[in-house]
Amino acid sequence: MIKFAPQLINLFATLILLLSFAMISQRRIVSLINLFMIQGAALVAASFLLGYVTHQPDLYVSGGLTLVLKVVFIPWMLHRLIARLNVRWDVETLLNIPTTMLVGIGLVIFAFSLALPISRLSDSIAGGSLGIALACVFLSFMMMITRSKAVPQVIGFLSMENGLIFAATTVTNGMPMIVEFGIALDVLVGVLILGVFMFQIREKFDSLDIRNLEALKED
């Protein structure tokens, strides 16, 4: 297992990146949530594997938190939200899919160029995956700014947080446990607040299109 650990971690990293590409091109909200759940599972597998190889107990805690929040609880809550809000299946995007993919490829190239000097300085077994982690962050951020619906933007935010955790894991072999618990709490509270925010938008405008907020002007 230890002998093939770098290859396996790179495999999980590649899977996370491919899922990010699939998410920015996905037009169905249910499928988008499922892709996010699979991405979280890949992050959990990478954390557990790296924890086993480096003998870092904190990585097991990080993987466990990700499993509970990103693979089980948050996808379950998002599925309930879209069922109660009766969200349209088709997700409208500000850019068409071919343009989105081309921009995404450009972001991946930029991320790898940006991460290369840092990866050379890292002595982590998975330090070479930093470029993939940064690419996931950039792709998730692009999904947030190119979607007009609230639910995909929430998923983009959560996916970007996945990329940040993966970056910290691959470069430093894990963050301090108190930081991991703090991030998990922030994500949980943030998702709950965004859920309330979605209900308020739907009640006010009968739609989850955040462009409707532009209609709110001061008297």
Q: Is residue 187 pLDDT above 70, yes or no?
A: no
Interval 54-101: pLDDT, tens: 788 778 887 888 888 889 888 888 888 777 777 655 556 677 888 888
Q: Label residue 23 exposed, middle or buried (CB < 10 Å: 0-12, 13-18, 19+).
A: buried
Q: Is residue 210 pLDDT above 70, yes or no?
A: no
Interval 66-78: pLDDT, tens: 888 889 888 888 8
Residues 192, 77: Cα–Cα separation, whole Å? 9
Report the pLDDT value the prediction gives residue 219, as an integer from 0 to 100. 43
Q: Is residue 177 pLDDT above 70, yes or no?
A: no
Q: Label residue 80 exposed, middle or buried (CB < 10 Å: 0-12, 13-18, 19+).
A: exposed
What DSSP string describes 161-194? Answer: HHHHHHHHHHHHS---HHHHHHHHHHHHHHHHHH
Give the lowest-confidence range in 37-46, 58-67, 118-127: 118-127
Report the pLDDT value the prediction gives residue 27, as an integer from 0 to 100. 80
Report the pLDDT value the prediction gives residue 1, as an integer from 0 to 100. 54
Domain of residue 122, residue span: 5-215
Q: What pLDDT band is residue 178 in, cutting at 50, 70 and 90?
A: very low
Residues 158, 212: Cα–Cα separation, whole Å? 23
Structural domain tally of the chain? 1
Report the pLDDT value the prediction gives residue 213, as an integer from 0 to 100. 47
